[in-house]
Amino acid sequence: MASKNEPPPVPVAASGARVAILMGSDSDLPIMQKCLDTLHDFGVPADVHVMSAHRSPQAVAQYASRAEEQGLEVLICAAGGAAHLAGVVAAHSALPVLGVPMPSKHLSGMDSLFSTVQMPGGVPVATFAIGEAGAVNAALFAVQVLARKEPALRAKLAAHKHRLACGVREKDAALQGQPSGKTPGNAR
Ligand code: C2R
């Protein structure tokens, strides 16, 4: 049994997981749940962990260094404030790293955005919008990466685009007071 002074073991990627979702804190989970849900909708298995470049730096370095050999293909990192998690993960892995800036208490997520997006040349982090839109889009982007090799995922992405367009058409039809599909008669 591990002694009290030993650090907890570094998480190993869940078998079959292709995408990792790493969060700086469990306080990021309510927003990152959207990311998880989106991957789930596409049937993409994810490995989800709380780890912090500041608070558990060894775990982050070890997890990121081993991510590729464990079968992961895309690493999504969410952090708020001085958001260094995505950058540190990118320093230790050649896998695509997607950064999602979390809204923060004092600076509304601008601190998270800048510290995620402003990487030095040579260490890319693809940075998404602050908050839920970023969480969903990072998941969709991960699916798009995986879909390059997988026709079944491409078909799901096409269906997703179709649903988006139908949703807008329905809203427009409601605005025009007409059933969906008819050309709205605009007032002149
Ligand atoms: P707590 O709620 O645990 O105090 O965390 C987390 O992502 C969270 O948004 C507050 C915020 O600190 C962030 N955090 C980072 C990192 N680790 C934790 N930005 C990191 O490694 O970058």
Q: Is the CB of 50 under 6 A from ligand 1?
A: no
For 83-111, b/e burial (b = at least 16 CB within 10 A) is bbbbbbbbbbbebbbbbbbbbbeeeebeb
| Nearest ligand 1 atom to alpha carbon 53 | 21
Q: Is the CB of 100 under 6 A from ligand 1?
A: no
In contact, 74 and 100? CB cutoff 8 Å:
no
| Nearest ligand 1 atom to alpha carbon 86 | 22
Q: What is the pLDDT of residue 10?
A: 72
| Nearest ligand 1 atom to alpha carbon 104 | 9
Q: What angle do CA 58, 106, 24 make, to 5 degrees?
A: 20
Q: What is the pLDDT of residue 6?
A: 72
Confidence grade of residue 64 (pLDDT, cut at 50, 70, 90): very high
For 86-114, what is each residue's pLDDT tens digit? 999 999 999 999 999 999 999 999 999 99
Residue 22 Cα, ligand 1 centroid: separation in angstroms?
11
Predicted structure pTM score = 0.91
Q: What is the pLDDT of residue 9?
A: 72
In contact, 18 and 71? CB cutoff 8 Å:
yes
**CA atoms of 124 and 104, how far apart (whole Å):** 23
State the amino acid at position 168 in one-letter form.
V
Residue 118 confidence (pLDDT) above 70:
yes
Mean pLDDT value of segment 71-81? 98
Tokens, residue 106: 């004092």
Residue 72 confidence (pLDDT) above 60:
yes
Q: Whose CA is nearest to atom 2 of ligand 1?
A: 27
| Whole-Å CA distances, 93 to 20, 76, 129, 155, 170 | 12, 12, 22, 29, 43
Residue 57 confidence (pLDDT) above 90:
yes
Confidence grade of residue 171 (pLDDT, cut at 50, 70, 90): very high
Tokens 């998480």 sit at which residue? 11
For 4-46, what is each residue's pLDDT tens digit? 677 677 777 777 899 999 999 999 999 999 999 999 999 999 9
Q: Is the CB of 28 under 6 A from ligand 1?
A: yes
Q: What is the helix (H) or strand (E) element at residue 20, kind and residue range?
A: strand 19-23
Residue 2 confidence (pLDDT) above 90:
no
Q: Is the CB of 99 under 6 A from ligand 1?
A: no
**CA atoms of 49 and 13, how far apart (whole Å):** 9
- Ligand 1 test: best mutation among 21, 23, 25, 114, most atoms within 8 Å of CB? 25
Residue 181 confidence (pLDDT) above 60:
no
Q: What is the pLDDT of residue 182?
A: 57
Count other Cβ atoms within 10 Å, centred on residue 64. 25
